[in-house]
């Protein structure tokens, strides 16, 4: 189910160090206000269905957000500590970057914090992460090869110099760039209505197969993200978030993805990897202290993720999700009951 689309939108133009914001008017005119409430679709017998969030699958109370989905790139090393704003994210994706480290792509839609970061640069992996939502990628900048790829794939990106960016004098560069999403939203205006990012279902439909209360997602020999299940959710045991600002998902989705070469190196000479979030591969879904193994498919960068087990389609219980894009070669997934 989708929210009713707003009738006005703004397009963001990527620049090297600043943001040019241009108002794009819909054919029906620019003076109409966005609808206040999510659209209730009807069943064949005429009864109403309630709207659900495209990022969590949860029922939406009151008005649907009028802002775009913002996907903020956040550093995920010890140098980034403490990370800010993660507890407000609807969904967080983790990806491999050069040197064996990982980086986060945090999705903000239902709640826009005033302080998110530290914000770091984009990667070509972000294309497959952002395009299904027609979202706005928020990054410090990007290598020319990455910027060209993002532009060619029509991924809307804002970089340092745009409204909302600031430097924290109490941190050292480059780990001191922060973002105020409320300020950015005032400039971007209404976004297009996103479709469901993941296949949502109900708790009752989740076919828990075996216990799994501790989870390890290995991205490289340098980075393994670990989780512990308790009190209905998952807590990271080696994260870098500030106390009281931790992202605690209801579900962990780990996908084994192909990793190639992005075609350039970082300043230290490390090859930059590209996790291609498209195609198919092995999938692990952790919920309620249990795990189900299956397969994932995604047709094209803009396609939505589909999950299947030997028993058929697999849907996710509503709630916040951590999405781990673990390399099919060189990565690993381990868990214990």
Amino acid 2: pLDDT:
32
| Confidence band of 153 (pLDDT split at 50, 70, 90) | very high
Whole-number Å distance between alpha carbons of 228 and 217:
12
Tokens for 84, please give them: 């800010």
**Helix or strand holding residue 209 (H, E):** none
DSSP state of 48: B
Amino acid 63: pLDDT:
77
Q: Which residues contact 293 (CB under 8 A, 6 or more apart)?
A: 209, 282, 283, 284, 285, 309
| pLDDT, mean of residues 281-291 | 97
Maximum separation of any 2 CA atoms in the chain, in Å: 63
Whole-number Å distance between alpha carbons of 73 and 107:
9
Q: Which residues contact 301 (CB under 8 A, 6 or more apart)?
A: 127, 128, 131, 132, 153, 277, 278
pLDDT at 19 over 80: no
**Which has the higher per-residue pLDDT, 58 or 40?**
58
List Cα–Cα distances, 255 to 126, 259, 300, in angstroms. 15, 12, 16
List Cα–Cα distances, 48 to 43, 86, 196, 317, 318, in angstroms. 6, 34, 19, 21, 19
**Which has the higher per-residue pLDDT, 233 or 62?**
233
| Confidence band of 52 (pLDDT split at 50, 70, 90) | confident
Question: Contact 99/222 with Cβ under 8 angstroms?
Answer: yes
Tokens for 32, please give them: 């109409």
Cα 119–Cα 318–Cα 101 angle in degrees, nearest 5: 30
Tokens for 148, please give them: 């060209």
Asked if the domains 8-24+52-188 and 203-336 are classified in one and the same CATH topology, the answer is: yes
Where do the structural domains in the chain lie, given as residue ranges?
8-24+52-188, 203-336
The pTM of the full predicted model, rounded to 2 decimals, is: 0.86
| Confidence band of 212 (pLDDT split at 50, 70, 90) | very high
Amino acid 50: pLDDT:
59
pLDDT at 177 over 50: yes
Amino acid 51: pLDDT:
82
| Confidence band of 6 (pLDDT split at 50, 70, 90) | very low
Amino acid 31: pLDDT:
32
What mean pLDDT, rounded, does the chain reach? 86
**Which has the higher per-residue pLDDT, 302 or 61?**
302
Amino acid 194: pLDDT:
86
| pLDDT, mean of residues 297-307 | 96
pLDDT at 64 over 90: no
Q: Which of 2-11, 186-195, 318-327 has the lowest mean pLDDT?
A: 2-11
pLDDT in tens, 228-274: 999 999 999 999 999 999 999 999 999 999 999 999 998 889 999 99
Whole-number Å distance between alpha carbons of 289 and 119:
32
Cis preceding-peptide flag for 138 (omega within 30 of 0): no
Q: Which CATH architecture has domain 203-336?
A: 3-Layer(bba) Sandwich (3.50)
pLDDT at 311 over 80: yes
With a pLDDT cut of 70, the percent of the chain lying above it is: 85
Q: Which of 56-65, 235-244, 317-326 has the lowest mean pLDDT?
A: 56-65
Which residues are registered as beta bridge partners of 105? 73, 93
Amino acid 62: pLDDT:
78
pLDDT at 320 over 50: yes
Q: For the structural domain made of 8-24+52-188, what CATH number should be given? A: 3.50.90.10
List Cα–Cα distances, 163 to 70, 110, 179, 190, in angstroms. 13, 20, 9, 16
């Amino acid at each position: 189910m989708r929210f009713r689309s707003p009738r006005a939108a703004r397009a963001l133009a990527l620049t090297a160090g600043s943001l040019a914001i241009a108002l794009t008017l819909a054919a029906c005119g620019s003076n109409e206000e966005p609808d206040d409430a999510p659209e209730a679709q009807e069943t064949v017998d005429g009864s109403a269905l309630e709207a659900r969030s495209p990022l969590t699958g949860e029922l939406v109370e009151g008005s649907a957000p009028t802002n775009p989905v913002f996907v903020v790139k956040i550093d995920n090393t010890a140098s980034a500590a403490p990370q800010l704003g993660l507890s407000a994210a609807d969904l967080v994706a983790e990806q491999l970057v050069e040197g064996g480290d990982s980086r986060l792509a945090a999705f903000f839609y239902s709640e826009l914090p005033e302080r998110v970061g530290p914000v770091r640069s984009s990667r070509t992996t972000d294309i497959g992460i952002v395009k299904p939502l027609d979202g706005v990628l928020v990054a410090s900048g990007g290598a020319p090869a990455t910027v060209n790829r993002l532009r060619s794939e029509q991924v809307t990106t804002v970089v340092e110099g745009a409204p909302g960016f600031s430097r924290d004098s109490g941190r050292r560069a480059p780990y001191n760039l922060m973002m105020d999403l409320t300020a950015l939203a005032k400039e971007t205006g209404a976004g297009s209505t996103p479709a469901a990012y993941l296949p949502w279902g109900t708790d009752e439909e989740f076919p828990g197969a075996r216990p799994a209360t501790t989870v390890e997602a290995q991205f490289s020999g340098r980075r393994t993200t670990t989780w512990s299940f308790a009190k209905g959710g998952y807590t990271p045991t080696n994260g870098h978030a500030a106390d009281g600002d931790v992202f605690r998902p209801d579900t962990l989705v780990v996908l084994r993805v192909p990793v190639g070469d992005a075609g350039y190196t970082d300043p230290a000479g490390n090859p930059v990897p590209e996790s291609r979030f498209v195609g198919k591969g092995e999938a692990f879904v952790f919920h309620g202290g249990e795990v189900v193994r299956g397969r994932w498919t995604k047709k094209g960068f803009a396609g939505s993720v589909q999950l299947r087990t030997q028993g058929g389609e697999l849907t996710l219980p509503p709630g916040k999700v951590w999405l781990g894009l673990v390399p099919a070669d060189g990565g690993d997934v381990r868990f214990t009951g």
